[in-house]
Structure 1
Amino acid sequence: MLETRLDLARIRAARRMIDPLFLDTPLYRCEAMEPDLGCAVSVKLETANPVRSFKGRGTEVVASLLAANGAGAAVCASAGNLGQALAWSGRRRGLDVTVVASRFAPTAKLERIRALGARLELVDGDFDQARERAAAIARHDGIRLVEDSQDLETCEGAATIGLELVDAAPPFDAVLIALGGGAMATGVGHVLKALAPGVEVICVQPLGAPAMTLSWRERRVVTTESTDTIADGVAGRRPIPAVLDDLLAVADDAVLVEEASITAGMRVLLEHAGLVVEPSAALGVAAILEDRDRFAGRHVATIVCGGNVDLDAYHRWVGVV
């Protein structure tokens, strides 16, 4: 495996900083989905925690280190889930948390950020414009800017998912990982390549938000002018160069999926697993639906990474009332 910024010893140490509420999330084979998908599928359920996403693993590491160093405040940009997670982790440790988000982010996510006690500032643009505003606040106020994927703590916190996957039996042939900024993909991918190198690491991104996948394919940063996807949690336009380098070292493949496949994946997870998930969490299932021949006869794990979704929008996408 090529070197990355991540370190296996630090990832193991991260487990000791993370509240057990976020650890050892359910992992089980969901046989009810298999007739539709044509392969054995295990689900890693990262929604079974207080912020209903995997992001709490990383923010627990960030907030623990900030509190240990006497910091009093932090700011982040968020599509919704990171902001909730940082608000939750910061509140437990007495940190003042500011979250910058697009005013077009799902209302359910924004309301939960406020409910967790963070100061929420909204921008008229998209996530990348929220990143710019968060950086400006950090400079002006002299506080820590928490950058998802850029900050190793977020990647190494997410990487603890990989430790739990490696401990599972039987081993998987492939793991499907939603790809946005790259924290989960690089973190989990690093662990798998270090401890289970025979497992194929496949990253999945929407066709309407392809910047990181295009960058991985071309081995250079590729930016896009806009995004057009319901999977708001992975809808970035400007990959971070250092994160791309990490991804290039651990990902075996990066694929793009259609919006119709994402909603079909959400429907499969609802009907056969009883799971209400946000679009980003269905990317792995969408990838299987689009390429059943590739996965036929294999045992695949997919990480269900978030469950914060606007219910009105969910009903429209999935077709339930």
Structure 2
Amino acid sequence: MRETRLDTARIRAARRVIDPIFLDTPLYRGEALEPVLGCTVSIKLETANPVRSFKARGTEMVASLLADGDSRAVVCASAGNLGQALAWSGRGRSLDTTVVASRFATAAKLDRIRALGATLELVDGDHELARERAADIARYEGIRLVEDSLDIETCEGAATIGLELVDAAPSFDAVLIALGGGALATGVGHVMKDLAPDVEVICVQPLGAPAMTLSWRGRHVVTTESADTIADGVAGRRPIPAVLDDLLLVADDAVLVQEASIIAGMRLLLDHAGLVVEPSAALGIAAILEDRERFAGRHVVTIVCGSNVDMDAYHRWAGAARLPAGP
């Protein structure tokens, strides 16, 4: 029997470490969405904070540990959101923060990393190449490498979202979670299975970046040669074995959705909830759109996990969005 790396007591303790500005985020019924989706939908909104994503729940944990230690430098690879979060958490604790990213990452995310005072290094490749470069920097300079999802602090910080869902005395019976590296899915999934085991944990990933979903389905790590999706925040190709082991213990299902459904989900969140979101944050809505029959009559929560999006691209996507045909 596999054992998880996550611990509910540590997750509860994390709430005393994370800056309150990132905690107790809004949870509310998205009633205007419901006639279109055919089910009851609640939104857990993780965008109303200084870095506009859930990632700082984890980086606050990492930065607090470093602030109490001898090393004052840290490096990570990021598609954008982790880098912003680590830059914000590091700035508040006088840490020397370096972020490695693909030069093809969303420009708005890169600009914000710079604005938060981090050193930004760009690589001519995708996120996996950025991960390799960040590991090299950590090794050569002898500084702390933060690896999203592998570092348990990133998972247990994200897991505090699950505590807030449970504390809301949930009437929902499923939670839809964007799946990329796995920190959000394993963290929230762990809390659900420990404290609200009747809630179905459904992970959602783009069809064009399916590595973790394929790994979950096969129960072993599956890597892919490429990732082709607008949802850059979840576009990994090489799942981390320890994270997959955690995910196998908590996920009830992992589904893949098409790009058209992601775009339609973004448009629905704009038109019916007044929310501008990045593609990764619309994955839950996309999953409902592609399988309305599965969710009909149910109450689901979708975690809207980020709103750092290139606005030019957003206007193109939102303007072109069309709802997929129902079953």
Match of 2:27 in 1: 27
Look up the SS of the partner of 1:79 in the other structure.
coil
Match of 1:123 in 2: 123
User: Partners of 2:93 and 2:311 in 1: how far apart?
Assistant: 31
- Decide whether the 8 Å contact of 1:56 with 1:89 is kept in 2: yes
Q: Which amino acid aligns with 2:79?
A: A
Alignment of 1:1-321 (within 5 A): 3-319=3-319
Deviation of the 1:170 alpha carbon: 3.7
CA contact (8 A) 1:175 1:302 kept: yes
Q: Could you tell me how far apart the structure 1 residues matched to 2:277 and 2:145 are?
A: 29
SS of structure 2 residue aligned to 1:224: coil
Contact kept? 1:2, 1:250, Cα under 8 Å: no
Moved over 6 A (4+): none
> Matched residue of 2:176: which SS?
strand
What is the one-letter code of the residue matched to 2:86?
L
3-state SS in 1 of match to 2:71: coil
1: CA distance, partners of 2:2 / 2:295: 26
* TM-score scaled by length of structure 2: 0.97
* Structure 1 unmatched ranges of 5 or more: none
Partner of 2:325: none
CA shift at 1:69, angstroms?
1.6
In the alignment, residue 42 of structure 1 is paired with which amino acid? S
- Check conservation: 2:234, 2:280, Cα contact below 8 A: yes
Q: More displaced, 17-26 or 2-11?
A: 2-11
**Structure 2: how far apart are the matches of 1:82 and 1:142?**
21
Which deviates the most, 66-75 or 257-266?
66-75
- TM-superposed deviation, 1:103: 0.1
How far the C-alpha of 1:109 sits from its partner, in A, is: 0.1
- For structure 2, the 5+ residue unaligned runs are 321-327
DSSP-derived class of the 2:226 partner = coil
TM-superposed CA distance for 1:71, in Å, is 2.2
Normalized against structure 1, the TM-score is what?
0.99
SS in structure 1 at match of 2:60: helix
Q: What are the superposed Cα offsets for residues 223-276 of structure 1, whole Å, 9 maximum, x if unpaired?
A: 000011000000000000000000000000000000000000000000000000
Query: Separation in 1 of the partners of 2:85 and 2:180?
Result: 17
Per the TM alignment, residue 169 of structure 1 is displaced from its structure 2 partner at its CA by 3.2
Q: For residues 136-189 of structure 1, give each alpha carbon's deviation from its aligned partner in whole angstroms, at most 9, with x where no partner exists.
A: 000000000000000000000000000000011342100000000000000000
In 2, the alpha carbon distance for the partners of 1:149 and 1:12 equals: 18
The Cα of 1:68 is off from its aligned counterpart by: 1.2
CA-based RMSD: 1.1
Deviation string 1:203-240 (CA, Å, 9 cap, x unpaired) is: 00000000000000000000000011000000000000
